[in-house]
Amino acid sequence: MLKEKIEAALNDQLNFEFYSAYIYLSMSAYFESIDLKGCSQWMKAQTQEEMLHAMKFFDFIAERGGRVMLKQIDSPETQWESPLKAFENALHHEGIVTEKINHLMDLAQQEKDHATQIFLQWFISEQVEEEASVNAVVQRLKLAGDNPGPLFMLDRDLSARVFTMPASGSDPT
Ligand code: FEO
């Protein structure tokens, strides 16, 4: 059985993953509005990643005999000054997610909840990838500066990103 403290913290993270999905879907809409279809597609795939993360928490809470409690999801921002600002915002957001996952791990360790620690291990590795992939785009946008050529090339490259559901569904193993 899950301890109440852990159950509450896992539910909070579940909510935050849905919030992340919302932020990236809002960024996708922003990129659509400025005709950067590749960036929009990249953000759509990122949204699906976040939904998968949320569902991993959902399944884990249920599997451990806990109760999933869905909460209100905050409204995301809708407008950014530039593509670079949007991706910088995404990078900042991923830093917050990493901190939250680390705090969850600290709590699971304090509470000697070994199963939750093993579950969170996947997210700790995932966050390294999440930050790296957003940062790679931030760096290319910085290099592109105000030049439309490199920006359109980047947009074309980002259009190739597709979300693929892992073969094991939402199973974190
Ligand atoms: Fe679910 Fe991008 O962290």
**pLDDT digit string (tens) for 21-33?**
999 999 999 999 9
- Residue whose Cα lies nearest atom 1 of ligand 1: it is 50
50 close to ligand 1 (CB < 6 Angstrom): yes
CA dihedral 53, 22, 28, 141 (to 10 degrees): -70
Output the pLDDT for position 164.
Answer: 86
Alpha helices for 64-164 (secondary structure H): 83-110, 114-144, 148-158
157-165 mean pLDDT: 91
> 140-151, pLDDT tens digit by residue?
999 999 899 999
Q: Which atom of ligand 1 is nearest to the CA of 54?
A: 1
17 close to ligand 1 (CB < 6 Angstrom): yes
- Domains along the chain? 4-158 (1.20.1260.10)
> Please, which pLDDT band fits residue 73 given cuts at 50, 70 and 90?
very high
Output the pLDDT for position 1.
Answer: 85
52-68 mean pLDDT: 98
Residue 149 CA, ligand 1 centroid: distance in Å: 30
97 close to ligand 1 (CB < 6 Angstrom): yes
> Please, which pLDDT band fits residue 173 given cuts at 50, 70 and 90?
very low
Q: Which of 102, 2, 129, 132 is nearest to 60 (CA)?
A: 2
7 close to ligand 1 (CB < 6 Angstrom): no
Q: Which of 119, 122, 102, 104 is nearest to 49 (CA)?
A: 122
53 close to ligand 1 (CB < 6 Angstrom): yes
Residue 172 has pLDDT above 50, yes or no: no
Residue 150 CA, ligand 1 centroid: distance in Å: 27
> 96-120, pLDDT tens digit by residue?
999 999 999 999 999 999 999 999 9
Structure tokens at 81: 């000054």
